[in-house]
Amino acid sequence: MFKTVEYKDGKVRLIDQTRLPLEEVYVECDNYQDVARAIKIMQVRGAPAIGVTAAMGVALGAKGIITKDFAEFYKEFVKICDYLAGTRPTAVNLFWAIERMKSVTDRNRNKPVDYIKDVLEKEAVKIREEDISINRTMGNYGQELIENGDTILTHCNAGVLATAGEYGTALGVIKVAHEKGKKIKVYADETRPFLQGARLTAWELVKEGIPVRLITDNMAGYFMGKGEIDKVIVGADRIAANGDTANKIGTYSLSILSKEHNIPFYVAAPLSTIDIKILDGSKIPIEERNPQEVTHLSGKRIAPEGVEVSNPAFDVTPNKNITAIITEKGIIKPPFKDGIKGLFK
Ligand code: MRU
């Protein structure tokens, strides 16, 4: 089994997701700037995976600070945290993981700097292990919503590659249902412009032996209309306190199509993706990415020079279009505001 991200011999080792599915190669980062670059150019992507990787970047950066004086260490440490926090704005797991690393340093401010560096390394490894077990628990809850014979549509990649490993969020639910012997079939949206569905979800599911059919994004309505889709399951990058959910661009349209066709629309995400400080989806920052992702395919221009381009990487699905949110603490249904409050009690 491939590993999305791990901390090995004082380095952060990542499967290079920009090269999949054609090549299975790994990138090794031995400084925090390389970790930040890997997140920015999406060698690693997907909300939980970004969080885990950033935590490892913080640990790596802290190790490289040469001083025994806490005040000096802390000044540099905060700069490293800010640098990593500047990589991608939407997935809240990034900020969640960095805050968790900061609080480890704060709690140990009276201890020697070398001790703090060790604890930070251990914390990053722990965040990775926790994410794997959270996904397994979430999959177990979520599979209860899947019936034998279901055809499930998913968008982007919310699998092993989008998390610390082994299961994934939306694909974790699918994977556990498959392990339990339910006969299921997946329709994977190709997910323009970065093609996470075609390149990553299709790769993961083919590797797992889970039946998958790749479709382009604009085919979803067609197949729903023909009655071929029973359920939609997607991941999330940030869920507001009222359940509004930011996920890969195109998710909002899918939610409307699902509503029109009376198809249950599920979101699977860990608590680290829920941002209770944000009251509704309108406050979620949406990342605007390089126009080249739209004008080019595999490095080849497909649109005329000089054309104006928009490339928002995410959109927000309003809570009214979501049937249920699957978390590691169970499944919540509307009204999500109350359900989410309960999760954090
Ligand atoms: O731009 P990406 O590839 O990082 O976006 C990823 C997604 O939108 C995923 O659906 C989301 O992070 C959930 S991953 C478990």
Quick check: 37 pLDDT over 90? yes
Handedness of CA 84, 87, 89, 92 (dihedral sign): negative
Contact in structure between 301 and 230 (CB atoms under 8 Å): no
Q: Which of 253, 197, 193, 258 is nearest to 225 (CA)?
A: 258
Q: Is the CB of 48 under 6 A from ligand 1?
A: yes
Respond yes or no: is residue 237 known to be catalytic: yes
151-154 vs 185-189, strand pairing mode: parallel
Taking residues 116-124, report their average pLDDT.
Answer: 98
The distance in angstroms from the start CA to the end CA of the chain is 36
Q: What is the dihedral of CA 164, 344, 341, 54, to 10 degrees?
A: -40
Q: Which of 150, 237, 244, 315 is catalytic?
A: 237
Q: How far is the CA of 32 from the centre of ligand 1 (A)?
A: 22
- Rounded to whole angstroms, the Cα distance separating 82 from 74 reads 12
* Amino acid letter for position 265: F
Contact in structure between 218 and 254 (CB atoms under 8 Å): no
- Rounded to whole angstroms, the Cα distance separating 151 from 146 reads 9
* Amino acid letter for position 3: K
Dump pLDDT digits (tens) for 126-178. 999 999 999 999 999 999 999 999 999 999 999 999 999 999 999 999 999 99
* Amino acid letter for position 297: L
Contact in structure between 214 and 188 (CB atoms under 8 Å): yes
Q: Is the CB of 189 under 6 A from ligand 1?
A: no
Q: Is the CB of 163 under 6 A from ligand 1?
A: yes
pLDDT-based confidence at residue 1 (cuts at 50, 70, 90): confident
- Rounded to whole angstroms, the Cα distance separating 249 from 311 reads 9
Q: Which of 209, 170, 163, 194 is nearest to 15 (CA)?
A: 163
Residue appearing with tokens 């499967």: 15
The values of phi and psi at residue 233, to 5°, are -130, 125
Q: Is the CB of 317 under 6 A from ligand 1?
A: no
Q: What is the pLDDT of residue 215?
A: 98
- Please confirm whether the linkage preceding 285 is cis (ω < 30° from 0): no
Dump pLDDT digits (tens) for 292-316. 999 999 899 999 999 999 999 999 9
Taking residues 107-132, report their average pLDDT.
Answer: 98
Q: Which of 157, 177, 179 is nearest to 168 (CA)?
A: 157
Probe target for ligand 1 pocket from 88, 156, 289, 290, with the most ligand atoms within 8 Å of CB: 156
State which ligand 1 atom lies nearest to the alpha carbon of 196: 3
Contact in structure between 255 and 265 (CB atoms under 8 Å): yes
Other C-beta atoms lying within 10 Å of the C-beta of residue 20: 20
* Domain ranges for the chain: 5-136, 142-343
Q: What is the pLDDT of residue 74?
A: 98
Angle, vertex CA 253, rays to CA 248 and CA 255, nearest 5: 90
Taking residues 174-195, report their average pLDDT.
Answer: 98
Dump pLDDT digits (tens) for 247-305. 999 999 999 999 999 999 999 999 999 999 999 999 999 999 999 999 999 899 999 99
CATH topology classification for 142-343: Rossmann fold (3.40.50)
Percent of the chain with pLDDT over 90: 99
What is the Cα 43 distance to its own chain's centre?
A: 13
Q: List the CATH code of the domain at 5-136.
A: 1.20.120.420
Two structure tokens written together for 14: 């990542």
Two structure tokens written together for 269: 């995400």
More confident residue, 184 or 298: 184
State which ligand 1 atom lies nearest to the alpha carbon of 268: 15
What is the Cα 316 distance to its own chain's centre?
A: 15
Q: What is the pLDDT of residue 61?
A: 98
Mean pLDDT of the chain: 98
Burial (0-12, 13-18, 19+ Cβ within 10 Å), 282: exposed
The values of phi and psi at residue 296, to 5°, are -125, 150
